[in-house]
Structure 1
Amino acid sequence: GSGGGGGGATSPASAASDTESGVFSVESEVCAEHDSELDWFCATEQKLICSLCANAGPCREHGVAPLARRVGVVRNQLVDVCEKIQLQALDIEKFIQQTLTAKEQKLQASA
């Protein structure tokens, strides 16, 4: 989804934030069921899984992809969002400058 709250939610339903932070953690996490590295992403369940879960386990019928590919997709999305934010920031700066210039001209004209 778009937006979102950060924060210390403790309910099991909000475990997705733990999974998302795991994507960027330095330590490799391990599948509790297969004791294998979590190097795949299940889009259906929105969580990290191991290759055994992806190919023969509970997620074999789900939309799964190697984690490296998913990381690339997310990275590209972040780059796009950052570029849009930078363009918006430039537009805002331009608007502020135009507004200040107009106000200064009005002040000089009335002085």
Structure 2
Amino acid sequence: MTLATKHRIYTTSFASVYPLYVAKAEKKGRTRAEVDEVILWLTGYSPAGLEAQIAVRTDFETFFAKAPALNPARAEIKGVVCGVRVEEVAEPLMREIRYLDKLIDELAKGKAMAKILRQPG
């Protein structure tokens, strides 16, 4: 994929979008800690690792490329976000970003954390 064909979100700083995720969740009565929990579950970052990525203003492409351990259960994330069915997104990086968007949507909609994190039971 050349720079000319990269989607703009790939080069957008994760730190610039993170506060929007937090605001969306908080507006619906959820917390920043819950947003962080979802991001850590998805990416395998430690809390310190996540903070470091935010501090250095890593772009989305690098944020996901450097993710320590993308959660294998993320393949269970299904549904529509921004009018797009996440499980049908062909481009791998865009699919990871849509997974994150979907998890934040579920959090904001009041879904139980165990269900968001695809825990059995």
* TM surpasses 0.5: no
Which structure: greater strand fraction? Answer: 1
Structure of higher CA gyration radius:
1
Per the normalisation by structure 2, the TM-score is 0.25
Which structure: greater helix fraction? Answer: 2
Greater relative contact order: 1 or 2 (C-alpha under 8 angstroms, separation 6 or more)? 2
